[in-house]
Structure 1
Amino acid sequence: MDLRRLRHVAVVGTVLAHLPEPLRALAVKHRELLKFAVVGGTTFLVDNGIWYLLKLTFLAPKPTTAKAIAIMIATIVSYILNREWSFRTRGGRERAHEAALFFLVSGVAVAINLIPLYMSRYVFHLEVPHVSRFVQEVADFASGSVIGMLLAMAFRFWGLRRWVFPDELGRKRRDVPTDDTATAGSRR
């Protein structure tokens, strides 16, 4: 077992040990969704940090463009974390094919994420001078970082499980004996 995997098992085991039994069983049953949510929380911070940096500086007149750039950077981070952690026991496609599918699904998710922000700004005119700066910022956050992100997250989780990291390929990958499983099997 390599050191990285050992650290992963230790962290997960420590967290699980502190959960009450009913919650522990639920967490184990839905561990993939929980990992996806942790990655989502991380990329939420990346996305919003970059978005606000851009929209409060040189892309102030173009909040949708700033959001698109932030989402693209967060999507790259998401691919790496999802492939290496959330869905590491799934998939098994050639890396380039898998990445192309990931970014295709994520591209659709970007469009889904931008629709509420676009509607807020350009359909409902929740922007200065029609509303105060405070109302504009609250509307931007609610539409771009809450509503849009939740819609995109639901689509992305479904799309990644269905097309990018399908379980059928993961079963093949899990069924191939590795040094870890061969060693574990001989200890029983």
Structure 2
Amino acid sequence: MTVVDSVLSRVPEPLRRLLLKHRELLKFAIVGGTTFIIDNGIWYLLKLTVLEEKPVTAKIIAIIVATIVSYVLNREWSFRTRGGRERAHEAALFFLISGVGVGLNSGPLWISRYVLHFEEPHVSRLVQEVADFASGSIIGMLLAMFFRFWAFKRWVFPDELGHKRRGSALPDDPAEELGHS
């Protein structure tokens, strides 16, 4: 029994069915939470040390590292039953779409800093940090997340190609996945 099976077996039946029905979204969200921590950890490490004067550059570097982790986790877990493209083609599409995601993620931070001037000396350090977090880690991340989930399902890991990988090994009914018919 996998960890997911073990956790889901403890969830009440109505919620379990809902989680199973939307398991890709749930897995994508868990991967997103993991990469959110990686992204913000690296971003704050860089922007509070070597890239103090370049917070957008620090954010872009952090996003790139988190994106690499995201590819591996999404490929091997979130969308493992989808796809079927050659790895190089799939990875190229993933990173192209993720590049658009970098723009969507860092755009609100850029606007906050350089259009709205939520930076020292125009505002206090506290206001600057709250604005950076809200724009770079909340607004930007949500914009990029919704775009990437839609684009990954549509172009990188399309379901119609997944039938090649699934064969008859994986059940079509989510309840069968846990042995609940």
CA distance in 1, matches of 2:2, 2:156: 28
Q: CA deviation at 1:110?
A: 0.4
2:139 equivalent among 147, 150, 161: 147
The corresponding residue for 2:36 is 44
Q: CA deviation at 1:13?
A: 1.3
The corresponding residue for 1:91 is 83
Percent of counterpart pairs with the same letter?
74
User: Can you list the C-alpha shifts for 1:73-112, whole angstroms capped at 9, x where unaligned?
Assistant: 0000000000000000000100000000000000000001
The corresponding residue for 1:77 is 69
The corresponding residue for 2:16 is 24
Partner amino acid, structure 2, of 1:114: S
Number of residue pairs the alignment of both structures matches: 171
CA distance in 1, matches of 2:19, 2:163: 21
The corresponding residue for 1:161 is 153
Q: CA deviation at 1:21?
A: 1.0
1:55 equivalent among 47, 62, 66: 47
Alignment RMSD (CA, Å): 1.2
CA distance in 2, matches of 1:71, 1:13: 31
Q: CA deviation at 1:174?
A: 1.1
In the superposition, the TM-score normalised over structure 1's length comes to: 0.89
List gaps (5 residues or longer) in structure 1: 1-8, 182-188
Partner amino acid, structure 2, of 1:166: P
Give SS of 2:2's match. helix
Q: CA deviation at 1:172?
A: 2.1
Please state if 1:126 is matched with 2:118. yes
Partner amino acid, structure 1, of 2:128: Q
Please state if 1:34 is matched with 2:26. yes
Give SS of 1:125's match. coil
In the superposition, the TM-score normalised over structure 2's length comes to: 0.92
CA distance in 2, matches of 1:74, 1:159: 18
User: Can you list the C-alpha shifts for 1:101-151, whole angstroms capped at 9, x where unaligned?
Assistant: 000000000001011000000000000000000000000000000000000
User: Can you list the C-alpha shifts for 1:163-186, whole angstroms capped at 9, x where unaligned?
Assistant: 0000000012212x56x99xxxxx
User: Can you list the C-alpha shifts for 1:27-66, whole angstroms capped at 9, x where unaligned?
Assistant: 0000000000000000000000000000000100000000
Which entry has the higher C-alpha Rg, 1 or 2?
Answer: 1
CA distance in 2, matches of 1:47, 1:152: 13
List gaps (5 residues or longer) in structure 2: 172-181
Q: CA deviation at 1:10?
A: 2.0
